[in-house]
Amino acid sequence: MDLEVKKVDQITGTIKAPASKSYSHRAFIAAALAEGESVLRDPLYSEDTLATLEACEKLGALFQRFPDKCIVQGTAGYIRTPDDIIDVKNSGTSIRILSSIAAIAPRANFTVFTGDESLRKRPMADLIDALENLGVMIYSAQNNGTPPIIVKGGFDGGETDIKGDVSSQFISSILMAAAYSKNPVTLNVRGKFVSKPYVKMTLSVMAKFGIQFEYDTSNEPEYSSYYIEPQKYECTDYTIEGDYSSASYIIAAAALMKSDITIKNLYKNSMQGDKLIVDIIKKMGATVDVNEMDIHIKSNGNLRAFDINLSNAPDLLPTVAILMAAADGTSKISGVEHARFKETDRVHNCAIELENVGVEVEEFQDGIIIKGNPTGGVVNSHLDHRMVMAFYVLGLKIGNITIKDAACYDISFPNFLEVMHKISQ
């Protein structure tokens, strides 16, 4: 599906932010691991989160889906090995976290994870190495550190290290499975710790489901350590908050155009790193009032450039890139080298597609320099949901943008077009 985006004059109204994709993944897994029945309120049912949900079903949990809640009968850690492979499609979060979870199955059993062509290029070697030190037998089927991934049951525990500058999902993966290891687990995160807010989110979900842990920062900056003893996840009633990542496209649209809009279900005290988008549009010239559970934005659409480090919020790269492209002046986005290992190489692809719509761009290893004044053109989505949604927002500002292969926004924001249509009328 190709999308032709037309220019609009203003962004107005009141809208509810979609549920958090990151929290939904983690809540589905925690509920699947818990003893008893959990109720998850306001979950996100998107292509990515459904990949996690369906994988958890194959591992033995029972899910009843309703529009406003999901009732989960957990496994109490007694993971079942499915008869067939588990296909998580394009969901890197699913395969990375669930690879550790599958290791708590009985020792004689094997679980195989695969996905689409893009996912089968995603690096997994660092997680594989870290899990092997914990007594887990885990393999890359092609012996190249990428999926398909084969996991043999058995999680002994012990101590392991992992680099902090590759993927926070590897850290979250080990932490979520550690409670069901045979022995206590110590996880040392070495060096620079990028995307740390995502790990904080993981720990907050684990805590809501009764898991206790210790965190030691006494050896920073060389490394920091997590310690988790064997224990069980407890069932709970858990409400999933709104998603600053998905809401960033609404927020960006409000900043780029004349606007007066309220976005509900965004928590002021959220642990999500992507709430940085609120500070970004403030610095660029929009007026923002932040309340306990919603934000109100007004803008005249005239934005100013500035420099930003996105090391703790790499998923914002496409959104911030189009904001900078429409701003007055030259901007620099840095700290996002790890965004080269997302669904696509987002650093390179953002640079390419900004150039395709008339923007002057300089790419470097961990970011891009952007000089504004986009004129429009044809954008390749690279089958990346965040690229589609970001360039759609830019199209609302300038018009004359066509996005190729745009249907993949379903991965994280299934009703994206409906929401954007509602606020741009």
Please report the sign of the dihedral spanned by the C-alpha atoms of residue 400, residue 402, residue 407, residue 412.
negative
pLDDT of residue 258: 97
Question: Of 1 and 12, which is predicted with more confidence?
Answer: 12
pLDDT digits (tens, 9 = 90+) for 122-157: 999 999 999 999 999 999 999 999 999 999 999 999
Within 10 Å of residue 231's Cβ, how many Cβ atoms?
Answer: 15
Known catalytic residues are 315
Averaged pLDDT of the chain: 95
Q: What is the mean pLDDT of residues 333-337?
A: 94
pLDDT digits (tens, 9 = 90+) for 236-263: 999 999 999 999 999 999 999 999 999 9
φ/ψ of residue 51, rounded to 5: -60, -40
Q: What is the mean pLDDT of residues 69-80?
A: 96
Q: How far from the centroid of its chain's Cα atoms is residue 46's Cα?
A: 12
Q: Examine the pLDDT at 343 and tell me if it is beyond 80.
A: no
Q: Examine the pLDDT at 27 and tell me if it is beyond 80.
A: yes
Within 10 Å of residue 386's Cβ, how many Cβ atoms?
Answer: 29
Q: Examine the pLDDT at 219 and tell me if it is beyond 90.
A: no
Q: Examine the pLDDT at 217 and tell me if it is beyond 90.
A: no
Q: Examine the pLDDT at 11 and tell me if it is beyond 80.
A: yes
Q: Examine the pLDDT at 44 and tell me if it is beyond 90.
A: yes
Within 10 Å of residue 154's Cβ, how many Cβ atoms?
Answer: 19
Q: Examine the pLDDT at 422 and tell me if it is beyond 80.
A: yes
Q: For tokens 């740390």, name the residue.
A: 196
The domains found in the chain, sorted by start residue, are 3-18+244-423 (3.65.10.10), 21-227 (3.65.10.10)
Question: Of 195 and 289, which is predicted with more confidence?
Answer: 289
Computed on alpha carbons and rounded to an integer, the radius of gyration of the chain in Å comes to 21
pLDDT range class, residue 108, cuts 50, 70, 90: confident
> Cβ distance 18 to 385 under 8 Å?
no
pLDDT of residue 239: 96
Q: Examine the pLDDT at 221 and tell me if it is beyond 90.
A: no
Q: Examine the pLDDT at 416 and tell me if it is beyond 90.
A: yes
